Amino acid sequence: MVNEHNLPFRMREYQELMDQEILNIGDDYDKLANYPTYVIFFCNFDYYQRGLARYQFEFREKWHPEITAGDLRTMVVFNTKAQDYEHATEIRPFLNMIRGTVDTKDKFIAAVDAEVQDIRADKQREARFMKEQIERRRELRKSREAGREETMLTVTKNMVAQGIPQQQIVTLIAASLGTSTEEAQKFYNQAVVAN
């Protein structure tokens, strides 16, 4: 609802969270081919200031935009303040509803508006929904951090096995995990004990 001037970075974070949910540690990246992803934002402001109702982004080659990366990622930003609905005519009633104009003749829009009103009226349901969203993001972050530490533990064991000096390994751990040398030393000690 409010332009926080960070929309591209929010889209990037949400994309990463979705990929983290799909891929488990050790999974082949080809698994992502079965999961095309869409990050969709409905904004009550025109972030890109071109007046378009729909901005759609895909990863493309810079000098030859006809070449896509083929990673099956799509990011879409809908703008309720649009003037140009050329690529979003079918969603115009929904964008109008977000803006505050409800077309009660449209059955879908009337049903969505009724559900929104129910959620807003039931403060416990709204709070529960928000709490679930926050908890899910926390769990995803913890999972991502655990995976990163597990990978670093394996790399550390391999470096120890290759005879790389302890101080060099500790420095690499600190840089990789973005932690202090003391924390990296503890991590190194854990890897050596586990080895």
Sign of CA dihedral 164, 165, 166, 169: negative
| Residue 56 burial class via C-beta count within 10 angstroms: exposed 0-12, middle 13-18, buried 19 and up | middle
What pLDDT does 179 receive?
75
Closest Cα partner for 48 from 77, 84, 12? 77
Query: Does the global pTM surpass 0.75?
Result: no
What pLDDT does 66 receive?
93
pLDDT in tens, the chain (195 residues): 778 898 999 899 888 888 888 888 788 889 999 999 999 999 999 999 999 999 999 999 999 999 999 999 999 999 999 989 998 999 999 999 888 888 888 888 888 888 888 877 887 877 787 788 788 777 777 777 777 777 777 778 878 888 888 888 888 877 777 778 888 888 788 877 765
Q: How far apart are CA 112 and CA 97, in angstroms?
A: 9
What pLDDT does 120 receive?
76
What pLDDT does 195 receive?
57
What pLDDT does 41 receive?
94
Q: Following DSSP, what letter does each residue of 105-130 receive, concatenated?
A: TSHHHHHHHHHHHHHHH-HHHHHHHH
- DSSP structure class, residue 178: T
